[in-house]
Amino acid sequence: MIKFEKEELIKLANLSGLQLNDEEIAILLNQIKLVLNYTEELEKVELSKELAPIKNVNLFREDKVFQFDSTPILKQAPKSKNTYFVVPKVLKKNIK
C-alpha cells in the first residue's frame, strides 16, 4: 500500500498556497488514499499482450475559404484599423 500521510498533505497544500482546516485535511487525505488504493488495484490487472496496438489516424480535410464583410463585426470593437481589431500590447520588447 502506498503511504500518504497528513504531513505530506500539509506540505503539499503549503507549496500550492492552500490553507486547509482540519476537516478539509481529513477529507482530502481520505480521498487521496482512495485514489492511491485504486491505482494499486489497476496495477494488478493483467493485460493481454496479444492485442494489436491502437494506431493513430490523421484525418485531413480540405480548407474552405469564406468571404464575408467584416465591417459589422469591426464596428462592435472599441478600436479597429482597416480590417483588424486593435488591442493593447501584452508583450514587452526586451531592449538590451
pLDDT digits (tens, 9 = 90+) for 85-95: 999 888 877 76
Q: Which of 42 and 96 is assigned the larger pLDDT?
A: 42
In angstroms, how far is the first alpha carbon of the chain from the final one? 55
Question: Distance between CA atoms of 28 and 9, rounded to whole angstroms?
Answer: 8
pLDDT tens digits for range 17-66: 999 999 999 999 999 999 999 998 888 888 777 767 778 888 888 889 98
What are the grid coordinates assigned to 38, written together? 485504486
Look at residue 5 in the predicted model and tell me its pLDDT: 92
Please tell me the pTM assigned to this model: 0.46
pLDDT reported for residue 96: 62
What are the extents of the domains in the chain?
Answer: 6-44
CATH number of the domain located at residue range(s) 6-44 in this protein:
1.10.20
Q: Check residues 96 and 66 and name the one with the higher pLDDT.
A: 66
Q: For residues 19 and 21, what is the distance between their CA atoms, to the nearest angstrom?
A: 7
